[in-house]
Structure 1
Amino acid sequence: TTCWFAPGSGSSRGQGPPQQFNQVQTTYFTSIEILSDLYKKKVLIDDYLVDAYIDTGSKVNIISYEAAQNVTSSMEPSNVIMRGFGGLHAQSLGKVAFKLFIDDLHINSCAEITTKSNLGSIDLIIGQPTINHPDISLVTTSKSVTLLKNNISDNFLTEMQLSSTDFISKVTLFLSDDVELSPGAQCEVDVYTDHELDTSHVIVTQPKIFSLGNVSYFIPQAVLTKTPYRLQVVNLGVHSINWSANKLIIRAEVFACRYVLSVNI
Structure 2
Amino acid sequence: MLTTRGEVTFKLEVDKLTIPCQAYLTDINMNNIHLLIGQPIINHEGVTLLVHNNTAVLQQDCDFLSQIEVTEERLKFNVVTHSKETLPPGSSIIMVDIEGNNQDADVITPARHFEMDGTSYSIPATILRGCQGHLKVFNSGTKDILWEPGVVLVRAEICKHTPLRHQDGRM
Give the TM-score, by structure 2 length.
0.50
Q: Structure 1-normalised TM-score?
A: 0.33
Q: Which has the higher strand share?
A: 2
Q: Which has the higher helix share?
A: 1
